[in-house]
């Protein structure tokens, strides 16, 4: 009997922690569920606010700026936006990359209203024609001296505005007869197209190119900008994205030559005939129009541009 009493007591003792453990497990499960639900809520909230946070960051920028690259033609396209008005521009858009450019602008809630070409390109078709089809308010812009079709033509020294942002337009011929460099003085930025590349410069053997003019353009218009100004080129073939006035004045192997040696150096370059020039030039003279005539090219157009 004594043994039976001890056994019953042991059973009662064992049941208590089992019940307690069961209740603890249920409570822990509910707690974990609440914790998991809370984490999911936090994650959902985080996702909902990512877009708003990105927009707020952009609004705190003095100018919204994105550099985009076309790996096929090694061309840089630049998206710049006004944080206050959301008005935006594209510099040197590429036809095949227009959908990408528009999507990026839409994600950032920017309204692309202008497309600026630094010159009539020979290595790709500009995207301004396609952008005009996609965006009702969009207008194309290029220098008057380029001889190309556009909605707006710019001259040396002109000021061009989008939103509360202002661009100063500098004529920098030499690579072509109608090259333009776009400067944002308030942001210490200049977009040089093909006139000045990083540790190099554009070729001068077609499209009314002139080595002497290019040398003068770079030294009188670009290298006279403050040394700390960032320079953004139209192309790069070695993995660089930007440079400064000070760097190029010191390290550019071509433009650090004197003018006579520079002209001779450019004359001796043995460069291949641009593979897309017969398609690009006629199309770009017509604001990126892709037509049968533009694709086939035109002897009159090419001779007008001084092709060799």
**Exposure class string for 192-227: b at 16+ Cβ within 10 A, else e:** bbbbbbbbbbbbbbbbbbbbebbbebbeebbbebee
pLDDT exceeds cutoff 60 at 13: no
Structure tokens at 219: 């030294």
Confidence of residue 302 (pLDDT cuts 50, 70, 90): very low
pLDDT, tens only, 213-267: 999 999 999 999 999 999 999 999 999 999 999 999 999 999 999 999 999 999 9
In whole angstroms, what is the distance from residue 114 CA to residue 77 CA? Answer: 13
Domain boundaries, the chain: 58-304
Q: What is the pLDDT of residue 61?
A: 80
Multiple choice CATH, 58-304, 2.115.10.20, 3.40.630.30, 3.60.15.10, 2.40.30.20: 3.60.15.10
Residue scoring higher pLDDT (20 or 236): 236
Structure tokens at 116: 């600026």
In whole angstroms, what is the distance from residue 292 CA to residue 297 CA? Answer: 8
Q: What is the pLDDT of residue 290?
A: 76
pLDDT, tens only, 138-183: 999 999 999 999 999 999 999 999 999 999 999 999 999 999 999 9
Nearest alpha-carbon partner for 197 in 236, 254, 245 = 236
Would you say 284 and 126 are in contact if contact means Cβ atoms under 8 Å apart?
yes
Q: What is the pLDDT of residue 20?
A: 45
How many C-beta neighbours within 10 Å does residue 276 have? 15
Q: What is the pLDDT of residue 9?
A: 46
Element (H or E) spanning 68, and its range? strand 64-70
Q: What is the pLDDT of residue 22?
A: 41
Nearest alpha-carbon partner for 267 in 279, 275, 259 = 259
Nearest alpha-carbon partner for 302 in 151, 283, 288, 291 = 283
What order of strands is seen across the sheet that includes strand 75-81?
A: 64-70, 75-81, 87-91, 111-116, 139-143, 152-154
pLDDT exceeds cutoff 70 at 7: no
Pairing relationship of beta strands 189-193 and 230-233 according to DSSP bridges: parallel
pLDDT, tens only, 55-109: 554 555 899 999 999 999 999 999 999 999 999 999 999 999 999 999 999 999 9
Confidence of residue 304 (pLDDT cuts 50, 70, 90): very low
- DSSP E strands in 72-212: the ranges are 75-81, 87-91, 111-116, 139-143, 152-154, 159-162, 165-171, 180-184, 189-193, 196-197, 200-201
């Amino acid at each position: 009997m004594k043994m039976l009493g001890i056994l019953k007591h042991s059973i009662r003792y064992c049941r208590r922690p089992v019940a307690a453990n069961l209740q603890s497990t249920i409570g822990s499960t509910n707690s974990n569920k609440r914790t998991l639900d809370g984490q999911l809520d936090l994650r959902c909230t985080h996702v909902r606010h990512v877009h708003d946070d990105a927009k707020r960051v952009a609004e705190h920028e003095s100018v919204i700026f994105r550099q985009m690259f076309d790996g096929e033609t090694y061309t840089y396209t630049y998206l710049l936006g006004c944080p206050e008005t959301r008005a935006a521009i594209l510099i040197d858009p590429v036809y095949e990359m227009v959908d990408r450019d528009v999507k990026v602008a839409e994600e950032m809630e920017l309204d692309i209203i202008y497309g600026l070409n630094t010159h009539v390109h020979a290595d790709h078709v500009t995207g301004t024609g396609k952008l005009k089809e996609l965006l009702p308010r969009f207008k194309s812009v290029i220098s008057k001296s380029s001889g190309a079709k556009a909605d707006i033509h710019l001259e040396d020294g002109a000021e061009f505005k989008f939103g509360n942002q202002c661009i100063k337009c500098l004529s920098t011929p030499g690579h072509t007869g109608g090259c333009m460099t776009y400067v944002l003085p308030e942001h210490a930025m200049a977009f040089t197209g093909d006139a000045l590349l990083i540790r190099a410069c554009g070729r001068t053997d077609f499209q009314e190119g002139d080595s002497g003019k290019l040398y003068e353009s770079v030294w009188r218009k670009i290298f006279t900008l403050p040394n700390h100004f960032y320079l953004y080129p139209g192309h790069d073939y070695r993995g660089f994205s930007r440079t400064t006035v000070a760097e190029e004045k010191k390290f550019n192997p071509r433009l650090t030559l004197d003018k006579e040696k520079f002209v001779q150096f450019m004359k001796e370059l043995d460069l291949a005939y641009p593979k897309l020039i017969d398609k690009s030039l006629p199309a770009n003279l017509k604001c990126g129009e892709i037509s049968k005539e533009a694709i086939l090219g035109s002897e009159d157009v090419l001779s007008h541009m001084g092709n060799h």
